[in-house]
Chains A and B, each alone.
Chain A
Amino acid sequence: MKKDNDKVLKRILKYTKPYGHLLLFALLFTIASVSMTLYAPVLVGKGVDLIVSEGNVDFEGLYPLLIRLGIVIALASLSRWLAERCTNKVSHNTARDIRIQAFKRLHILPLKYIDSGRHGDFLSRVITDVNQVSDGLLMGFSQLFNGIITIIGTIVFMLSMDFRITVIVVLVTPLSLFVANFVAKNTYHMFKLRSETMGELTSLVEEMTGNLKTVKAFGYEKEAQKRFEEINSRLRKHGLRAVFFSSITNPCTRFVNGVVYTSVGIAGALLAIKGAISVGQLSAFLNYANQYTKPFNEISGVIAELQSAFASAKRVFDIIDEEPQTPDPEDAVCLDRPDGSVVIKDVSFSYRPDIKLIENLNLTVKPGQRIAIVGPTGSGKTTVINLLMRFYDVDKGEIIVSGYPVKKIKRDSLRSAYGMVLQDTWLKTGTVRENIAYGKPDATDEEIENAAKAARADSFIRRLPKGYDTLVSDNDKISEGEKQLLSIARVMLTSPPMLILDEATSSVDTRTEINIQKAFDKMMEGRTSFVVAHRLSTIREADCILVMNKGKIVEQGTHEELLKKEGFYANLYYSQFDI
C-alpha cells in the first residue's frame, strides 16, 4: 500500500511540474507568513511586559510597538493570502490537466475497451474522482506547507529559550504522527472500497436513469429501487467506516497534544521552582507548545484527505494506463485519392477468443462497385463494418484498401475515406447545423442545406422551432427516423470516396427512403459502397450481394443469379411474402 501511495504521489507531483514556479512562490509566501505569525506573540508578550500595574504603564514604548505589531499582522495575512492563491491555482490546474489527459485517453483506447466498459464508471472517474484529487491537493499544499514550516519555526524559537523542555516537546509529539499514520494506513482501503461502491452506484444510476423510459414501461421502478437501496446501504456501511476512522485521527492527535501541553506545564513548573526558568518564559513555552502541536493536528486531517485523494487518483491513473490501440506506424500513408478498391484476404475475427465469429473471409471489391451484405441477424454483417472502419483489428489475414494494407494507412485517413451511416444514430449536443457539418466543420450554410435537402431532412428541419439552429439534446422529440436523416445528411455533406451504410434508413419511412435512395444512387455513382440492409428493395440493385450466415459468406452474386440458385438468399427473399 505504501509503495502504491508513493507511486501515486510521485505521479501527481509530476503533473504539478508545469506549475513549479507557483509552488515555489507558495512556499516562499508561506515561510513569510509563518515567521510573521510566530513573531507576533513575541511582540504581544513584550507589550504585556510594558503594562505592569496601576500607574506603571510605559505608553512611550507601547505605541511604537503596537504600530510594529500592526505591520507584522498585515504582512502575515497578505503573504498568507498570496500563498493560498498560488496553491489554489496549482491544484485546480493540475486536476484539470489530469482530467483532460484521462479524456484524451478515451479517444485512443481500442473500441473493445469502450464497448465492454461501464460508461458510468468511466464518468465517475473523470468527474468525481478528479474532484477528489483537486480537493486533496488543495488541502495538501496549503496546510501541509503551513504545518511543516510552523513546526520548524517553533522548534527554532523554543531552542533559543530552553533546551530541556524543547527535547520533551520534540520527543512526545511524534506520537501523534504515529497515530495519524496508523489511521491513514487503515483508512486507505476503506476509502478505496467506498470509491468502488460509489462507482457501482453511479453505474446503476446511469443505466436505470439513463433508460428511465424502459424502466417505467416494465414497471421496474420498485426493482430498480431495491437494487439501488442495496448498493446504497453498502455504500453507507463502507462510507461510515471510512468517514469515522478517518475522523478519529483528529481527536487522537488532539489528545496527544494535551499530553504534550501537560508535560511542558509540569516540567516547566518544576524547573520554575528550581529557578531555572521564569514564569514569563514558562507561559511563552506553553504558547509555543500549542503552536507546535496544532499543525500536527492539521497534518493528520490533511493525510486523511490525501488518502481519499490518492485512492481516487489511482482510479483515474488506471484509465490513463489502459493500453491504447497500437499507434499508426511512423511510415503510415495518407490515402490521397483512394481508388475505391477493397480486398479482404483470409480474414478471421472474433470478439471473444472462445466464440469464433468470422473465419477466412475473402472478398475483392472493384472500384465503384456496390456491395450489399445480407444475412440473418448476428451473422456478422456489422462486424465486417467494424473491421472495414478499423474499429477493431482483424485477428488474422488482412484488408487492403486502394492497394495498401489498412495497418499501413493512418487511421484517420482510412476512416475519412469512408462515409458511414449506422443504425444506431448518434448526434451531439449542438444545433442541427453543427450536427450536419460534423464531418466538415467549415461547410457553408448553402452546402449544409443542400446536404439536408438531398437527405430529405430539409423539410422537417424547417418545421423545427428554430430551423437549422434548433438545439439537439438528449431529451427532445426528434424521432429515430429523423435522426437517421440527419446522420445521412452528415455523410452527404462530406461526399467521401467510399460509403458504408449499416441499416442507414431502417427507421425512415419507405417513401422518404426511396427519395434518399435516389440521392444515394447519385452519390454512389463511381464510389464503392457497402450496404447492410434488410429491405430487399434496397439490395436488388447491388453489383454483388454477399449473403452471410454464421460469420461466413455463404453465397455471392447478383439478385437474379442468387434467385436462380434457389439457395439461402432465395429463401430469405421469398419469406417476405409469407403469411
Chain B
Amino acid sequence: MFKLIKYLKGYIKESIIGPLFKFLEACFELIVPLVMASIIDIGIANNDTSFILKRGAFMVLLGFLGLVCSLTAQYFAAKAALGFGTALRNEMFSHIHSLSYSDIDKIGTSTLITRITSDINHAESGVNLILRLFLRSPFIVIGAFVMAFYLHAKLTLIFLAVTLLISAVIYVIMTKSIPLYKGIQSKLDTVSLITRENLTGVRVIRAFSRQKDEIERFEDTTCELTKNQIRVGNISASLNPLTYAILNLGIVAVLRFGGIAVDIGDITQGELIALINYMSQILLALIALANLIVTISRASASAIRINEVFSLKPSMTEKSVSDVKEASSDPDTPKVEFRNVSFSYNGTEASLSNVSFQARKGETVGIIGGTGSGKTTLVNLIPRFYDASEGEVLIDGKNVTEYPFSELRKKVSVVPQKAVLFRGTVRENMKWGKRDATDEEIYKALEIAQAKDFVNDLQGGLDAMIMQGGKNLSGGQRQRLTIARALTVQPEILILDDSASALDFATDARLRRALSTRTKGMTVFIVSQRASAIKNADKILVLDNGKPVGIGRHEELLRSCPVYREICLSQLSEDEVSKA
C-alpha cells in the first residue's frame, strides 16, 4: 500500500489539509463534554440561567465550527483520493501499454483488466478513508490517554492493557483477512474470465448446447467466491463484538479498582465518571478504526495486486532518439536482412532456427510453410514485436533494436492474422495508421485494399460505425479494412500475415495486383497458405518446422524444393501448377 503513496504526489496539500481539519474537528468535539460539565458544576449549582444559555450557545458554535472543518476535510480527502486513483489508473494503463508481446503472453489480459478497474477502485476508497478517518482515531485515543494519566496514573494501566488487547485483536484479524481478500480478488478474476469467455464463445456454446454446463461452471466459481467472502466476512464480524467486550470489561475493571481508589481517597466520584467517559471515547475511536480495517485490508490486498503489475518491467528496451545511428543511405543496402536469426518463445524449443535472407526495396517476398512452421514468428521479428534470440534483423542495414519504436512503426506496418477492429467509425479505425490521414489518403488505401466499394455501400460511408471487434462486418470485410488501415501508414515495409485468408480468390487476386502496381517501392511480405497468393513473388521463402528449406522463385522452387512442390500440388492441379 505504501509503495503507492507516490501517486498522491500532486495532492500533498490536499492530503495534509484533509487530516488536519479532521483533527481540528476532533478537538472541538473533545471540548463539548467539558463545557457540559461546567454547565452542571457551575450553572446548575449556582442556579445561573444566563450562564447556561451562554454556554449552550457556545456549544452550538463549537458544533458549527466542527461542521465547517469536517466538510473541508471531506472535500480535500475526496479530492486527494480521487486524484490518487486517477493518476494511478493513468500510470497503470500506460505501464501496461509499455509491456512487450512476450510480457503480455505471460500475464494474460483479463487479469490486467480487473486490476486496472476493480483493484484501483479499492485502493482509491482505501486512501479516501485513511485521509478522512484513519488519523482521527489515534488523535482521540492519545488524547484520552493523556487525560486519564493526569487523573490517576495507576488506573491508566487498565487503559494500556485494553488498548494493547484491542490492537492485538485488530492485528490478528488483519493478518488473517488480508490473504483471504487476495484470494477473493483472484476468484473474482476467474468469474470475470468465465463471463468474458462466454461472451466471446456464445456461438460455440450454443452450437454444442453446453449452456447448462457453462452456467454450472459459473455457479461453482461464484459459490466458491461467495464462500470465501462469507469466511472473510465472519472473521471481520468478530472484530466489533470483541472490541466492545474488551473495552467494557475495562470499564468493569475501572469500577472495581476505581472503587478502591475512591475508598482510600485517591480520586473523587466525579473523576471516576470522567475516567469512564474517556474509556467510552476510546471505544468509539477504536470501533471506527476497526470498521475501517475491512476497507483498508481490502485496499491493501488490491495494492499488492497493483504493485505486481508495476513490478513487471517491460522486457524490451527502446533506444532513445538521441543515440540512434544513421541508417545506411546506400541504395545497394538491402531493405530487410535476416542474418542467422534464431528465435524461441520459452528459451528451449526453437521456433525459428538459422534464417538468413535479404529483401530489396520494392520486392515482394512470399513466405509459405505448414501450420506451426514459424512464418508468423519470422515476420513478427521485423517490427520487433519480439527480439531475436540469436542473430540480427536489419532494416536499411541497421539492427531493428537500434530504432526507436515510433520510427519502426512508421517504417513497418503489419496486418496480423486476426483482424482486429475497434469500436468507432471507419474513418477513426483508418486513422489508427496515421493520425492526420486525409479522406483522400484513406480512400486510396481502401481502394488498394479492395474495400472502397463496400465502405461506400455502408450507411454513412467513412462515418459508418463499427461495433466492438468489427462484429457487424463479415470476416473478409474486416480483413480488408485491417489491410487498408496498414496501408494508410504508407509504410516502407508492409507485412501481410495470412491476412487475406477470408477473401475469395477474385478479391485476393485484385488486392495483390493493386499492391504490386500502386505501391511502388514498398517492400511487401506475404505470409500465406495459398500457393497462388505467393507464386508470383520476387522471392519465396519456404519454411518447415522453423527451418528455411528453400528460397527462390516459383519455377526454381518447383524444381528444387520438394516441400514447396508438395504444397503446390496439394492446392492446384498439375495443370494449374504449370500454368503459372
Q: Quick check: which of B329-337, B387-395, B413-421 contacts chain A, the rest being far away? A: B413-421
Question: Looking at the complex, which one of A77, A95, A389 makes contact with B245 (CB distance below 8 Å)?
Answer: A77
Interface-central residue, A251, A286, A415, A490, by most chain B CB under 10 Å: A251
CB distance from B357 to the nearest CB of A (A): 20
Interface-central residue, B32, B252, B477, by most chain A CB under 10 Å: B252
Please measure, in the bound complex, the distance between the C-alpha atom of A511 and the C-alpha atom of B563, giving whole angstroms. Answer: 10
Residue-wise, chain B 17-33 has the 8 Å CB interface mask toward A (1 for contact) of: 00000000100000010
* CB pair A512 B370 closer than 8 Å: yes
CB distance from B180 to the nearest CB of A (A): 13
* CB pair B226 A93 closer than 8 Å: yes
CB distance from A34 to the nearest CB of B (A): 12
A9 interface residue (CB < 8 Å to B): no
* CB pair A70 B249 closer than 8 Å: yes
Residue-wise, chain B 509-520 has the 8 Å CB interface mask toward A (1 for contact) of: 110110010000
A160 interface residue (CB < 8 Å to B): no
A563 interface residue (CB < 8 Å to B): no
A 224-267 contacts with B by CB, 8 A? 224-225, 228-229, 232-233, 235-236, 239-240, 243-244, 247-248, 250-252, 254-255, 258-259, 261-262, 265-266
**Across the interface, which residues of A come within 8 angstroms of B209, CB to CB?**
411-412, 415-416
* CB pair A218 B570 closer than 8 Å: no
* CB pair B74 A244 closer than 8 Å: yes
Please measure, in the bound complex, the distance between the C-alpha atom of A376 and the C-alpha atom of B507, giving whole angstroms. Answer: 7
A159 interface residue (CB < 8 Å to B): no
CB distance from B459 to the nearest CB of A (A): 7
B1 interface residue (CB < 8 Å to A): no
Residue-wise, chain B 38-79 has the 8 Å CB interface mask toward A (1 for contact) of: 011001100101001100100110111011001100110111
* CB pair A73 B509 closer than 8 Å: no
Question: Looking at the complex, which one of A209, A210, A240, A270 makes contact with B79 (CB distance below 8 Å)?
Answer: A240
**Across the interface, which residues of B come within 8 angstroms of A423, CB to CB?**
475, 502
* CB pair A507 B498 closer than 8 Å: yes
* CB pair B259 A59 closer than 8 Å: yes
Please measure, in the bound complex, the distance between the C-alpha atom of A437 and the C-alpha atom of B53, giving whole angstroms. Answer: 84
* CB pair B44 A131 closer than 8 Å: no
Q: Quick check: which of B97-105, B137-145, B147-155, B160-168 contacts chain A, the rest being far away? A: B97-105
Please measure, in the bound complex, the distance between the C-alpha atom of A223 and the C-alpha atom of B206, giving whole angstroms. Answer: 37
**Across the interface, which residues of B come within 8 angstroms of A218, CB to CB?**
409, 413, 432-433, 485, 489
Residue-wise, chain B 202-238 has the 8 Å CB interface mask toward A (1 for contact) of: 1111111111011100110011011001100110011
* CB pair A219 B406 closer than 8 Å: yes
Please measure, in the bound complex, the distance between the C-alpha atom of A511 and the C-alpha atom of B132, giving whole angstroms. Answer: 68
**Across the interface, which residues of B come within 8 angstroms of A474, CB to CB?**
108-110
* CB pair A247 B475 closer than 8 Å: no
* CB pair B82 A243 closer than 8 Å: yes
**Across the interface, which residues of A come within 8 angstroms of B264, CB to CB?**
54
Residue-wise, chain B 456-499 has the 8 Å CB interface mask toward A (1 for contact) of: 00010000000110011111110110000100010000000010
**Across the interface, which residues of B come within 8 angstroms of A254, CB to CB?**
66-67, 70
**Across the interface, which residues of B come within 8 angstroms of A13, CB to CB?**
none
A 144-200 contacts with B by CB, 8 A? 198
B 257-283 contacts with A by CB, 8 A? 258-260, 262-265, 268-269, 272-273, 276
A92 interface residue (CB < 8 Å to B): yes
Q: Quick check: which of B84-92, B299-307, B320-328 contacts chain A, the rest being far away? A: B84-92
* CB pair B101 A219 closer than 8 Å: no
A393 interface residue (CB < 8 Å to B): no
Interface size class of B (residues with CB under 8 A): 35 or more
**Across the interface, which residues of B come within 8 angstroms of A266, CB to CB?**
39, 52-53, 56
Please measure, in the bound complex, the distance between the C-alpha atom of A78 and the C-alpha atom of B244, giving whole angstroms. Answer: 10
**Across the interface, which residues of B come within 8 angstroms of A418, CB to CB?**
207
* CB pair B52 A88 closer than 8 Å: no
CB distance from A165 to the nearest CB of B (A): 14
Please measure, in the bound complex, the distance between the C-alpha atom of A239 and the C-alpha atom of B223, giving whole angstroms. Answer: 31
CB distance from A195 to the nearest CB of B (A): 11
* CB pair B245 A513 closer than 8 Å: no
* CB pair A207 B208 closer than 8 Å: no
Residue-wise, chain A 466-487 has the 8 Å CB interface mask toward B (1 for contact) of: 0000000111110111100101
Question: Looking at the complex, which one of A213, A374, A512, A536 makes contact with B104 (CB distance below 8 Å)?
Answer: A213
* CB pair B104 A212 closer than 8 Å: yes
CB distance from B159 to the nearest CB of A (A): 16
Please measure, in the bound complex, the distance between the C-alpha atom of A69 and the C-alpha atom of B253, giving whole angstroms. Answer: 11
A44 interface residue (CB < 8 Å to B): yes
B193 interface residue (CB < 8 Å to A): yes
**Given known contacts A376-B506, A415-B209, A128 and B118 CB-to-CB distance under 8 angstroms:** yes
**Across the interface, which residues of B come within 8 angstroms of A81, CB to CB?**
237-238, 240-241
Please measure, in the bound complex, the distance between the C-alpha atom of A126 and the C-alpha atom of B474, giving whole angstroms. Answer: 29
Interface-central residue, B99, B116, B132, B195, by most chain A CB under 10 Å: B195
Question: Looking at the complex, which one of B121, B225, B570 makes contact with A128 (CB distance below 8 Å)?
Answer: B121
Question: Looking at the complex, which one of B82, B195, B468, B529 makes contact with A509 (CB distance below 8 Å)?
Answer: B529
* CB pair A426 B104 closer than 8 Å: no
CB distance from A234 to the nearest CB of B (A): 10
Closest to A484 in B: B371
B 99-126 contacts with A by CB, 8 A? 99, 101, 104-110, 112-114, 116-118, 121
Question: Looking at the complex, which one of A48, A127, A220 makes contact with B188 (CB distance below 8 Å)?
Answer: A127
Please measure, in the bound complex, the distance between the C-alpha atom of A510 and the C-alpha atom of B572, giving whole angstroms. Answer: 10
**Given known contacts A377-B504, A579-B536, A123 and B256 CB-to-CB distance under 8 angstroms:** no
* CB pair B371 A106 closer than 8 Å: no
Closest to B59 in A: A262
Q: Quick check: which of A363-371, A520-528, A567-575 contacts chain B, the rest being far away? A: A567-575
Question: Looking at the complex, which one of B112, B213, B259, B417 makes contact with A480 (CB distance below 8 Å)?
Answer: B417
Please measure, in the bound complex, the distance between the C-alpha atom of A6 and the C-alpha atom of B349, giving whole angstroms. Answer: 62
Please measure, in the bound complex, the distance between the C-alpha atom of A95 and the C-alpha atom of B227, giving whole angstroms. Answer: 12
Interface-central residue, A208, A376, A503, by most chain B CB under 10 Å: A376
Please measure, in the bound complex, the distance between the C-alpha atom of A483 and the C-alpha atom of B79, giving whole angstroms. Answer: 49
**Across the interface, which residues of B come within 8 angstroms of A119, CB to CB?**
196, 199-200, 468
**Across the interface, which residues of A come within 8 angstroms of B473, CB to CB?**
378
* CB pair B532 A577 closer than 8 Å: yes
Closest to B213 in A: A441
B366 interface residue (CB < 8 Å to A): no
**Given known contacts A88-B237, A225-B90, A255 and B67 CB-to-CB distance under 8 angstroms:** yes
Question: Looking at the complex, which one of B52, B237, B435 makes contact with A269 (CB distance below 8 Å)?
Answer: B52
Question: Looking at the complex, which one of B101, B237, B255 makes contact with A51 (CB distance below 8 Å)?
Answer: B255
**Given known contacts A221-B97, A572-B506, A104 and B215 CB-to-CB distance under 8 angstroms:** yes
**Given known contacts A51-B255, A210-B113, A376-B476, A575 and B268 CB-to-CB distance under 8 angstroms:** no
Please measure, in the bound complex, the distance between the C-alpha atom of A480 and the C-alpha atom of B373, giving whole angstroms. Answer: 12
* CB pair A207 B422 closer than 8 Å: yes
* CB pair A126 B195 closer than 8 Å: yes
Please measure, in the bound complex, the distance between the C-alpha atom of A381 and the C-alpha atom of B260, giving whole angstroms. Answer: 95
Please measure, in the bound complex, the distance between the C-alpha atom of A252 and the C-alpha atom of B70, giving whole angstroms. Answer: 9
A99 interface residue (CB < 8 Å to B): yes
* CB pair B40 A51 closer than 8 Å: no
* CB pair B263 A54 closer than 8 Å: yes
CB distance from B186 to the nearest CB of A (A): 13
B423 interface residue (CB < 8 Å to A): yes
Please measure, in the bound complex, the distance between the C-alpha atom of A416 and the C-alpha atom of B202, giving whole angstroms. Answer: 15
* CB pair B203 A535 closer than 8 Å: no
CB distance from A440 to the nearest CB of B (A): 9
Closest to B349 in A: A463
Please measure, in the bound complex, the distance between the C-alpha atom of A71 and the C-alpha atom of B222, giving whole angstroms. Answer: 40
Given contacts A69-B252, A76-B245, A476-B105, 20 further A-B contacts (CB under 8 A): A51-B258, A57-B259, A92-B229, A100-B218, A202-B113, A205-B117, A209-B93, A209-B116, A213-B385, A221-B94, A236-B85, A247-B78, A261-B32, A262-B56, A265-B56, A273-B49, A286-B36, A354-B459, A377-B477, A535-B530
29 contacts between A and B (CB under 8 A): A37-B244, A57-B263, A62-B255, A76-B244, A77-B244, A84-B240, A84-B241, A100-B215, A106-B198, A107-B205, A119-B199, A119-B200, A127-B195, A198-B117, A205-B116, A210-B109, A214-B416, A217-B413, A282-B44, A377-B475, A377-B479, A382-B474, A441-B213, A477-B345, A480-B417, A503-B502, A506-B502, A510-B567, A510-B571
